[in-house]
Amino acid sequence: MAKKLLEIKNLTQYFGSSKEPVKAVDGISFDIYEGETLGLVGESGCGKSTTGRSIIRLYDITDGEIIFNGKDVHSSKSANEMKQFNRQMQMIFQDPYASLNPRMKAGEIISEAFDIHGLYKNKKERLEKVESLLEAVGLNKEHANRYAHEFSGGQRQRIGIARALSLNPSFIIADEPISALDVSIQAQVVNLLKQLQKELNLTYLFIAHDLSMVKYISDRIAVMYRGKIVEIGLADDIYHSPVHPYTKSLLSAIPLPDPISESKRTRIPYVHEELDESASLYEVADMHFVYGTAASVKKWQNT
């Protein structure tokens, strides 16, 4: 079994007043292994993006522990230690239009990290690095001198990926990187991410709400609902033998490009049941966990 790269223990992220907090993430725990892709799916507002942003320390967490490469992410760090951390973990953002500064050229966006970290001070070296990054994500060298608004959505997302790769990270959080792109471009970007993973031995946390795309890229899938992970397991297990009723409901909503099976497909509506205090993650199969009480998990398994 591969080494654990990231361990998340009881991560909790509340927003707003302490009296009536918005429980964006409510005590979730999972691990990410080196070299794998963990897909995190769930509906809008279930806390997927918050989870990603908490892991990379864009938010100060309310409670819990995030251990990356054996070190606590949220412990107080000197500026230098923080930079070391930034070099290892990077993020690809959702909106390719909002994630690039409209006043900067693509080359400046990609080399921004070099200024921050004092890398590649030699002009020629820097240009070479920028060009190699552009080529790695399937863009041309000539694109370095263009502004963000001159690119299409897919190209912009490639620039975002190049920026995330500029510090040679080992772990990348992809926060719905394809949801703002049209379907043909989605495939290109996902394939690019897969290819980069193979070449650079990257580990991904891939956040999305599109189960079919997540299935394609992920080794394991975690399903999130109302700030909790309700089911986590190998992609095939989640896809073919889901246990939690919410997962079943999500899977039943995937359309297929086949009119015959489509005409027979019925959506399973999800009715949320409040669980009592004893609810936790139960292992139903090898590496396949479901959140619920002992009784409810047994009941779900039999239906």
Q: What's the closest the beta carbon of residue 83 comes to another protein, in angstroms?
A: 5
Which is closer to another protein, CB of 28 or CB of 55?
55
DSSP state for residue 147 in the 8-state scheme: B
Q: How far apart are CA 174 and CA 186, in angstroms?
A: 13
Q: What's the closest the beta carbon of residue 6 comes to another protein, in angstroms?
A: 15
Q: Radius of gyration (Cα) for the chain, nearest Å?
A: 20
Residue 270: count other Cβ atoms within 10 Å of its Cβ: 17
Which is closer to another protein, CB of 58 or CB of 268?
58
Instruction: Report the SS3 class of residue 299.
Output: helix
Q: What's the closest the beta carbon of residue 66 comes to another protein, in angstroms?
A: 14
Q: What's the closest the beta carbon of residue 211 comes to another protein, in angstroms?
A: 24
Q: What angle do helix axes 106-117 and 79-88 make, rounded to 10 degrees?
A: 140
Which is closer to another protein, CB of 93 or CB of 246?
93
Of 212, 109, 219, give the one whose Cα is nearest residue 158.
109
Q: How far apart are CA 39 and CA 8, in angstroms?
A: 15
**Which residues 6+ apart lie within 8 Å of 209 measured at CB?**
41, 42, 43, 44, 48, 176, 179
**Which residues 6+ apart lie within 8 Å of 22 measured at CB?**
14, 15, 16
If phi > 0 it is left, if psi is from -120 to 50 it is alpha, else beta; for residue 230 that is alpha
Q: What's the closest the beta carbon of residue 18 comes to another protein, in angstroms?
A: 13
Q: What's the closest the beta carbon of residue 231 comes to another protein, in angstroms?
A: 29
Residues that bind another protein (CB under 8 A): 53, 56, 58, 79, 82-83, 86-87, 89-91, 93-95, 98-105, 109, 112-113, 115-117, 140, 142-143, 145-147, 149-150, 160, 163, 166-167
Of 154, 161, 159, give the one whose Cα is nearest residue 105.
159
Which is closer to another protein, CB of 147 or CB of 216?
147
Which is closer to another protein, CB of 16 or CB of 45?
16
In the block, residue with structure tokens 């998340």: 8
Q: What's the closest the beta carbon of residue 25 comes to another protein, in angstroms?
A: 17
Q: What's the closest the beta carbon of residue 113 comes to another protein, in angstroms?
A: 4
The residue count for the chain: 303
Which is closer to another protein, CB of 10 or CB of 132?
132
In the block, residue with structure tokens 């609810």: 279
Which is closer to another protein, CB of 33 or CB of 147?
147
Which is closer to another protein, CB of 116 or CB of 287?
116
Q: Is the dihedral of CA 177, 221, 230, 172 positive or negative?
A: negative
